[in-house]
A and B are shown apart, each in its own frame.
Chain A
Amino acid sequence: MLWVDKYRPRSLDKVIVHQDVAQNLKKLVSEQDCPHLLFYGPSGAGKKTLIMALLRQMFGASVEKVKVENKNWKVDAGSRTLDLELTTLSSTHHVELNPSDAGFQDRYIVQEIIKEMAKNRPIDTKGKKGFKVLVLNEVDKLSREAQHSLRRTMEKYSASCRLILCCNSSSKVTEAVRSRCLNVRINAPKEEEIVDVLEFIGRKEGLQLPSGFAARIAEKSNRSLRRAILSFETCRVQQYPFTNNQLIPAMDWEVYVLEIASDIMKEQSPKRLFQVRGKVYELLSNCIPPEIILKRLLFELLKKLDSELKHEVCHWAAYYEHRMRLGQKAIFHIEAFVAKFMSIYKGFLISTFG
């Protein structure tokens, strides 16, 4: 059991980072008026933690007793019947699933499961009909059709089923769906907040934290709480009595990007670009999203760059990232950015050093 999981707050009261959000959610539940919710924010900010805490607040500890099910659906889609399969996590009170795993047939899944839930509504102790909660992860990856089909079902079955949507960016969720939900933004925790959490864990674990150590970890964590806690534990595992200048382990891919950046700075030629391509392929094939690679690469390059070039390079990075999102083959765009950077940098070198 990692500290990340061990010290994950289980109720809204114990939340450290997003206390204000937690309090608001608690109020919502206590007023028995729970609308559909849309949680959005960067990864590692605590969306899922809050959602689980919220569910626990709603239904009590029984929510935590979940089972994994591989559900099969047979859906009549006009002329043919579709066989769909999806893994769901379900407790008596809620169902959790990742509809985007179903690919382009996700809309059938969403509709089917909501209808199913509406069919057998639970009855609470007072004999009143309760509702179930459907947690949909990665809504931003949901196809447009699925999102459209969602909005009607959301209204129709709102009595029996509440939706909690979770995504990284709300911009990819259609306006219609967003307006039907209470949007809850979970921003990445500030570094101070991260420090708070780390100190809390340190206390619980009975560790001696040298001053500034937590801050260093927080700084390196890229404002991702999960990452901060993980690196904290790593430090603990690697060398316990913490020293103030202890090495905080870096992510391997980031080191690799750093290598790429220094490669680029060293030489600007098509040949070098070809080498860079091979390395970028390596990163991409290890499930690192291209946007993150590009962003990281930009950061690493900016560190080594003359200040007068920074603006231009940033501009081009944004330009190519935009194009990358329009396109399909990320490698083309990352490479184009690298080529552009090389061109700019080389021009700059020649103009400054003759």
Chain B
Amino acid sequence: MDDMDMDIPDPDELQWLEANSNLHDDLDFDDDFQPPFPDDDDHTPTHTPPIPQSQPPTRTDSNKRPQSPPPIPTIPDNFASEEASRKRSRIEPQVVVDEIPANTSANPAAAVAVDDDEDWLPPPVHQVPQPIEEDEVPEETIVSRYASRIDGDFVPVTGPCGDRVYAKISRFGFDDSTKKNKLHSNEYSNGLIAEPVSLLMQRVEQDAVQKALLESFGPEGDVILPKVPVINEKLWVDKYSPNSFMELLSDEQTNREVLLWLKQWDSCVFGSEIKTTTEDVLSSLRRHTSVAQHQKANKSYIGKNKETWQNKENFREYKMLDQENNDSKGTQDLGNRNRKGYATPEQKILLLCGPPGLGKTTLAHVAARHCGYRVVEINASDDRSSSTIEAKILDVVQMNSIMADSKPKCLVIDEIDGALGDGKGAVDVILKMVSADKKFNTGKEQTHEDQSGKGSSKKKSRDTSLLRPVICICNDLYAPALKSLRQVAKVHVFVQPTVSRIVNRLKYICSKEGMKASSIALTALAEYTECDIRSCLNTLQFLNRKKETLNMIEISSQVVGRKDTSKSFFDIWKEIFQKKRVKQERKASSGCKNVWNEFEYLHSLISNRGDYDLVMDGIHENILKLHYHDPMMKKTVKCMQNLEVSDIVHQYIMRTQKMSLHVYQPAIAISIHGVIAQVEKPNIEWPKSFQRFRTTLMEKVDLLHLWHHNITPYISRHLTIKSFVEDSISLLLHILSPPTLRPVALHLLSEKEKKDLVQLVNTMVSYSVTYKSIKPNLLSSNLRHEVGVDASVLSFDPPLVDLIRFKDYTSSHFVLALAMKQVLLHEVEKQKILQAGINRSVHLTDVCKENKNLAMDKNGINRSTHLTDVCKKNQTMEMDKNGRIQSSRSHSVSVKKAVDVLNPSEARQCEKAAPPVSSNLSSSVNSSVAIKLSSTVSTKKPSRGNFNFFERFKKVSSEGSQATDTVQRRPATSERDSRPFLFKFNEGFTNAVKRPVRIREFLS
């Protein structure tokens, strides 16, 4: 290597870059030129003041050179050092080789390398500053020490010192020109001196700074980091989660009931042997739950410690028993498990519900473990599609693990209400299993035993009965997805544990973690989080990590995360209507800030809930029932105006879809709060009236629509639903039940009265109003109660009366006597039937005429004349459109033919049927033909000339479909061989008397 270097002309830069290789050269030189040191010393003061500055840190910092400092004072033994360095020089190359890779790879090594560079850099520049010299010298002693273990790794560390020495010497040597080696290096150093000194210095400085930075960070991180995560890696929530039943924070009674329920599975899961013991356990558990209740009642004076102690006592025995159970059964009873007992609890599913952070999941896990189950949890993060979940549940519930030491499994489905769409899958599967189970149990009792063996597994997978306890956990019991589950499951609602209990636990944890927290602050925290122990712990851990202590102010400030819970609507309305007494007191002390706090609170409350529409509805619904002092109605006006604004804003948002404007809605509610909030507790109802109003309105509009469609178009087109109630309904009802109409038999009526009656019937028909018998109980509260004595009461068929039936209002409408109504009903039906015929025959005739019975006469007219009649009518109507008639003549011809074809059969019918029927029949035939004709004439579409004859019939029938059933019955008799028909004979109410009845009798 030396040679190589010597040969190289002097590529200064190159050498600079390959600092390491240079280094070695230098080291080599070291050997010879230790002596000239003193000279160097002379020079040193002049140059390189910065170097010492930069170097000290490097030296102190570099781990590998703790040796260098000590010998500082001892300069003397240069020679020794020389020798040492000589030795070193021999070794150096190897070391260097070692070093290079180290440079590239490891960081500390790199740092060292940098050191080396730097240390080395200065010497070629000039001379080593004195301090360094001194360092250097002492080093030699150390070196000598190293020399003994020179093979060690740290040799390179000392290397740089040697460089320095050498560098100075080499310069000297250049003057003397004693050695070529030096010459070369001198040249090189010369070059350095001349030009890049300043540059070099800068670099040195930079490097030093970098190094300093690096070291200030690096080592610290190395040292501290490994410790911190070790301590805090675990969340406190997990760290201090209860491991045994007794550590549970949740309500004792709930805990026990859960345990009791789980224990009820024992006979099924663990087999019959243990049944006796479990009975004991059960009974004791039962006893203790009652005790627990008792304790709970006495809690106030029993005192905490005592209670817990008692609990411990109680549970110790359970545990013992339990462990016995576990030992004996869990392991081997797999085979005979389901044999006899099979007494699963009535409700096979346990549903735990309650707000988050109360320990539902913990309870489920702990209790299940306590009872000797292995907990299998399915939660919201798992795949919840019903197919996968079914497989999973089946695995858990029906399979037994082969491993000898395995425990039976207990399924815990967490957050079952979480995702509605997916969560439903789980619920469905469970429900299916439960229902299958029920069927199974009730269905076959004896085959059941056979099946309970191993061989039955196949069959069971079909039936999927529940053989293992399933615990479901949810936050919202009334989530729609859980509706059906709620009915079959045993439901336990978690109540908030007492604050003191939580505070005790928190205190314990704080003391264990060495965190200072006053119990007042902890209480405040617990209250703030609504006894959510999880969020309490997270907050505490967070603060602890930040090295802060918990204080009251933080809790209410944003430092401690507020739980993002949305309260129920009732709570929101309550908050709006109710002023908090405490707050009021506080308001006196610190006015403005508290108002602000209250605002903030309400704002977040309302905006968290969303659905402002409903919030406002609730306010509107309840606001007038509050007892606020408002003599001049000023407050009410204000509130109403606020509600108006909210409605307008809402409408605007809906129309323009500017959802961002929703942010102003909470403020409206808050302003209402400001106006009317009272201390007294409001009595709040769910806003139903608006919805009720909406539905009744829809119903009535539908009713009117339906009715509107039934009225013949030439009347209905002039009526609009909107204005009908406004300006017609009352009058129409008056007209429909005239007080002048005497309730007597028809033939007793005078001529004028008859005319009135006909008029009335016509009106009813044209407005498609009729009477219908309805049950009296529906009428109990309405207008017609005076008539309601009869078993059935006739009422208007479209219940038009409903439209004027307002609450607390009795209308002055006259009500017809029942007999009159019956007469009217009869007449109307008759009229309808008649009109149906007329409608068909004279579709084109004037509407007024149509309603008069004149048309009856036409029945007698034979077909041909009728046809021509119709044709004539058409012609008169469209005299100027002869061409069209011409074109349509072909159709009429075809129609005639068709009629002829039909004729024979009809003729036969006529003969058979009674005379009136025949006339009726002919009229109907005529009418149908007439319609056909008119339609062909009126369509005016020559292009459709080859229209199918029967299609025209279809049209006719569709046209006629408006007629009522009774109307259709009679035409049906006439066309009976074209269509099959059916008689319904309902004379009398009993089957006892049977007599033969001929069809003819019906037809007559």
Shortest A223–chain B CB gap in Å is 11
With A238-B739, A332-B620 already in contact, the answer to whether A68 and B962 are too (CB < 8 A) is yes
B692, B723, B732: residue with the most chain A Cβ atoms closer than 10 Å:
B723
Residue of B with least CB distance to A239: B740
* Chain B residues whose C-beta falls within 8 Å of the C-beta of A122 in the assembled complex: 940
Within the complex, which residue of A5, A87, A96, A238 is in contact with B738, where a contact is CB–CB below 8 Å? Answer: A238
Shortest A227–chain B CB gap in Å is 4
| Interface check A44, CB cutoff 8 A | yes
B938 contacts A284, C-beta separation under 8 Å? no
How far is B715's CA from A2's CA once the two chains are assembled, in angstroms? 10
B636 contacts A281, C-beta separation under 8 Å? no
Within the complex, which residue of A65, A253, A283, A320 is in contact with B843, where a contact is CB–CB below 8 Å? Answer: A65
A331 contacts B690, C-beta separation under 8 Å? yes
Among B720-761, those with CB < 8 Å from A are 720-732, 734-735, 738-740, 756, 759
* Chain B residues whose C-beta falls within 8 Å of the C-beta of A354 in the assembled complex: none
Among B794-824, those with CB < 8 Å from A are 802-809, 811-814
* Chain B residues whose C-beta falls within 8 Å of the C-beta of A285 in the assembled complex: 692-693, 696-697, 700
A273 contacts B721, C-beta separation under 8 Å? no
With A233-B731, A286-B804 already in contact, the answer to whether A270 and B640 are too (CB < 8 A) is no
How far is B847's CA from A65's CA once the two chains are assembled, in angstroms? 9
Shortest B702–chain A CB gap in Å is 11
| Interface check A310, CB cutoff 8 A | no
| Interface check A138, CB cutoff 8 A | yes
Within the complex, which residue of A49, A60, A87, A346 is in contact with B718, where a contact is CB–CB below 8 Å? Answer: A49
| Interface check B197, CB cutoff 8 A | no
| Interface check A200, CB cutoff 8 A | no
Within the complex, which residue of B648, B700, B720 is in contact with A137, where a contact is CB–CB below 8 Å? Answer: B720
B637 contacts A343, C-beta separation under 8 Å? yes
With A1-B766, A49-B718, A269-B633 already in contact, the answer to whether A279 and B740 are too (CB < 8 A) is no
Among B679-734, those with CB < 8 Å from A are 689-690, 692-693, 696-697, 700-701, 704, 709, 713-715, 717-718, 720-732, 734
| Interface check A326, CB cutoff 8 A | yes
Among A58-83, those with CB < 8 Å from B are 60-62, 64-68
| Interface check B392, CB cutoff 8 A | no
With A65-B938, A237-B735, A237-B740 already in contact, the answer to whether A287 and B807 are too (CB < 8 A) is no
How far is B808's CA from A255's CA once the two chains are assembled, in angstroms? 12
B718 contacts A5, C-beta separation under 8 Å? yes
- DSSP majority for the A interface? helix
Residue of B with least CB distance to A138: B720
B: contact size bracket = 35 or more
A-B contact number at CB 8 A: 240
A87 contacts B882, C-beta separation under 8 Å? no
B633 contacts A283, C-beta separation under 8 Å? no
| Interface check A111, CB cutoff 8 A | no
* Chain B residues whose C-beta falls within 8 Å of the C-beta of A289 in the assembled complex: 722, 726
| Interface check B918, CB cutoff 8 A | no
How far is B709's CA from A166's CA once the two chains are assembled, in angstroms? 19
Within the complex, which residue of A226, A233, A240, A284 is in contact with B693, where a contact is CB–CB below 8 Å? Answer: A284
| Interface check A6, CB cutoff 8 A | yes
B624 contacts A252, C-beta separation under 8 Å? no
How far is B848's CA from A274's CA once the two chains are assembled, in angstroms? 50
* Chain A residues whose C-beta falls within 8 Å of the C-beta of B620 in the assembled complex: 331-332
With A1-B766, A287-B803 already in contact, the answer to whether A89 and B693 are too (CB < 8 A) is no
Shortest A313–chain B CB gap in Å is 13
Shortest A197–chain B CB gap in Å is 15
Shortest A318–chain B CB gap in Å is 14
B715 contacts A227, C-beta separation under 8 Å? no
| Interface check B651, CB cutoff 8 A | yes
B732 contacts A278, C-beta separation under 8 Å? no
* Chain A residues whose C-beta falls within 8 Å of the C-beta of B690 in the assembled complex: 329, 331
- DSSP majority for the B interface? helix
Binds B, one of A25-33, A149-157, A333-341: A333-341
Shortest B936–chain A CB gap in Å is 12
A64 contacts B726, C-beta separation under 8 Å? no
A278 contacts B807, C-beta separation under 8 Å? yes
**Interface size (A, Cβ < 8 Å)?**
88
B763 contacts A2, C-beta separation under 8 Å? yes
| Interface check B27, CB cutoff 8 A | no
B804 contacts A343, C-beta separation under 8 Å? no
How far is B728's CA from A279's CA once the two chains are assembled, in angstroms? 21
A230 contacts B633, C-beta separation under 8 Å? no
How far is B628's CA from A237's CA once the two chains are assembled, in angstroms? 53
A336 contacts B727, C-beta separation under 8 Å? no
Residue of A with least CB distance to B760: A237
Residue of B with least CB distance to A292: B726
With A137-B720, A249-B730, A286-B725 already in contact, the answer to whether A339 and B633 are too (CB < 8 A) is yes
B878 contacts A259, C-beta separation under 8 Å? no
* Chain A residues whose C-beta falls within 8 Å of the C-beta of B625 in the assembled complex: 274
* Chain A residues whose C-beta falls within 8 Å of the C-beta of B412 in the assembled complex: none
How far is B731's CA from A252's CA once the two chains are assembled, in angstroms? 9
A230 contacts B732, C-beta separation under 8 Å? yes
How far is B726's CA from A289's CA once the two chains are assembled, in angstroms? 8
| Interface check B149, CB cutoff 8 A | no
Residue of B with least CB distance to A123: B940
Shortest B769–chain A CB gap in Å is 11
| Interface check A52, CB cutoff 8 A | yes
A237 contacts B643, C-beta separation under 8 Å? no
How far is B941's CA from A92's CA once the two chains are assembled, in angstroms? 10
With A237-B734, A238-B734 already in contact, the answer to whether A326 and B652 are too (CB < 8 A) is yes
How far is B652's CA from A2's CA once the two chains are assembled, in angstroms? 44
With A255-B809, A286-B700, A287-B700 already in contact, the answer to whether A1 and B763 are too (CB < 8 A) is yes
A287 contacts B718, C-beta separation under 8 Å? no
How far is B718's CA from A52's CA once the two chains are assembled, in angstroms? 10
B637 contacts A336, C-beta separation under 8 Å? yes
Shortest A260–chain B CB gap in Å is 10
A287 contacts B959, C-beta separation under 8 Å? no
Among B640-695, those with CB < 8 Å from A are 640-641, 643-644, 647-648, 650-652, 654, 689-690, 692-693
How far is B720's CA from A125's CA once the two chains are assembled, in angstroms? 36
Within the complex, which residue of B626, B630, B804, B877 is in contact with A60, where a contact is CB–CB below 8 Å? Answer: B877
* Chain B residues whose C-beta falls within 8 Å of the C-beta of A169 in the assembled complex: none
A231 contacts B731, C-beta separation under 8 Å? yes
Residue of B with least CB distance to A221: B727
Shortest A121–chain B CB gap in Å is 11
B883 contacts A125, C-beta separation under 8 Å? yes
How far is B717's CA from A43's CA once the two chains are assembled, in angstroms? 13
A234 contacts B731, C-beta separation under 8 Å? yes
Within the complex, which residue of A6, A250, A326 is in contact with B651, where a contact is CB–CB below 8 Å? Answer: A326
* Chain A residues whose C-beta falls within 8 Å of the C-beta of B791 in the assembled complex: none
With A61-B877, A284-B693 already in contact, the answer to whether A92 and B718 are too (CB < 8 A) is no
Within the complex, which residue of A5, A137, A255, A270 is in contact with B636, where a contact is CB–CB below 8 Å? Answer: A270
* Chain B residues whose C-beta falls within 8 Å of the C-beta of A304 in the assembled complex: none
| Interface check B993, CB cutoff 8 A | no
With A6-B848, A234-B734 already in contact, the answer to whether A222 and B811 are too (CB < 8 A) is no
* Chain B residues whose C-beta falls within 8 Å of the C-beta of A278 in the assembled complex: 689, 807
A60, A64, A252, A347: residue with the most chain B Cβ atoms closer than 10 Å:
A252
Shortest A280–chain B CB gap in Å is 9
How far is B723's CA from A138's CA once the two chains are assembled, in angstroms? 12
* Chain A residues whose C-beta falls within 8 Å of the C-beta of B288 in the assembled complex: none
Residue of B with least CB distance to A235: B734
Shortest B513–chain A CB gap in Å is 55
| Interface check A12, CB cutoff 8 A | no
How far is B846's CA from A60's CA once the two chains are assembled, in angstroms? 12
A-B residue pairs in contact (CB < 8 Å), sample of 13: A2-B767, A60-B877, A66-B714, A92-B938, A123-B940, A233-B731, A270-B623, A270-B624, A326-B648, A332-B620, A339-B640, A340-B637, A346-B632
Closest 6 CB pairs of A and B: A336-B640, A343-B633, A230-B731, A274-B624, A237-B738, A252-B804
| Additional A-B contact list (13), CB under 8 Å, known A256-B806, A336-B641, A350-B632 | A1-B848, A1-B851, A5-B714, A43-B722, A48-B717, A65-B934, A233-B735, A250-B730, A251-B727, A252-B809, A328-B654, A331-B690, A332-B640
